[in-house]
Structure 1
Amino acid sequence: MKYLVLPLFTMLCLTIACSVGPKSIDYGHVGCHYCSMTIVDKQHAAQLVTKKGKVFNFDAIECMMNHLKDEDQATLALFLVNDFDQPGELVDATKTTYLISENIPSPMGAFLSAFSNKKAAQFVLDSNGGELYSWAEIKERFKQ
């Protein structure tokens, strides 16, 4: 019986270590994978997770978008962004509404924010100006 415990424990640890899912960002301590800036802004951070469970953190959505230009996206499982209205809350980037407004600065100067709720994005747009984008539209904009 005790010969089974060690292999089972090892398998459990490997399964947990390789799990694919969002990981909390250690704000103020971890650096951006793209620009190396320390991640402190809980409204604009982003994260990519590969199909093998490797996590890449970004201090700004624009850093993630720039990183995607050089990344084989077939290896990625999750695209995540912070919800502007819920600081620190990572949401599915592919289902998010994006706002570029020069009245809302982001860490790298692209004025890019993400909203999980389209009505919230529209409200902030009405208050601050700018333009709304879908995931496909923001990806196309950053390809250029």
Structure 2
Amino acid sequence: MQHATRNTQYAILLPLLLLGCQSAADLDTPPEILYGQDICDECSMIISESRYAASYVTTTGDVRRFDGIGDMLLYDSKHHEQVHVYWVHDFDSEAWLLADKATLVQSATLSTPMGWGLIAFADPAAAADYVAAQGGSTTTFADLQQLFASGAVDPTTLSGHFHESAAQHSDTLNHTND
């Protein structure tokens, strides 16, 4: 009987120890998204396109996955988790990049999941070229976080109000071309 109790204790403690041993390097690794299978934590839609997908990792190692940058910003503004790192995909290469290193483009004419009209670029020149060719404006992830956190974005009207909010808060955003 005592042997069974000890095994039960090990069975309970082992997963806790493994979770506690997660290194900072693991927290800094881009998450895996199973496209066509994983569900967006905000809208519950299947995540299907990597170029729009975003994710963040909390300080406790929890991974949140999103079908778009706007859904990540909305979820983050509602849940106030302690986030270790935010990830977005480069629109051109579809490679993961740190959100705070990306140049974001927002455009009311850009068709993205859930209609936020947000994409990210690793290269600021590529973002500027996209805006010059397709319209929109560039901004930073930090500026968008501030806009979402301020409550200026009404998620019930999605992109239409988002783009109106962005225009009204142009002091927050670095508009390059509307």
Q: Which TM-score applies when normalising by structure 2?
A: 0.68
Structure 1 position 76 matched with structure 2 position 83: yes
**Residue 57 (structure 2) aligns with:** 49
**Residue 124 (structure 2) aligns with:** 118
Structure 1 segments unaligned to the other structure (5+ residues) = 1-9
Name the structure where strand makes up a greater proportion of residues. Answer: 1
Matched residue type, 2:51: Q
Task: Please list the CA deviations of residues 37-67 of structure 1 after superposition, one character each: whole Å capped at 9, or x if unmatched.
Answer: 0000111100010112110000011000001
Structure 2 segments unaligned to the other structure (5+ residues) = 1-13, 153-178
The whole-number CA distance in structure 2 between the counterparts of 1:17 and 1:41 is 29
**Residue 38 (structure 2) aligns with:** 30
**Residue 100 (structure 1) aligns with:** 106
Structure 1 position 141 matched with structure 2 position 129: no
3-state SS, counterpart of residue 35 of structure 1: coil
3-state SS, counterpart of residue 114 of structure 1: strand
The whole-number CA distance in structure 1 between the counterparts of 2:60 and 2:116 is 30
Name the structure where helix makes up a greater proportion of residues. Answer: 2
Larger Rg: 2
Identity across the alignment (%) = 30
Moved >3 Å (runs of 4+): 15-19
Task: Please list the CA deviations of residues 66-122 of structure 1 after superposition, one character each: whole Å capped at 9, or x if unmatched.
Answer: 01112334x2111111111112x2210111111012342110111111111101101
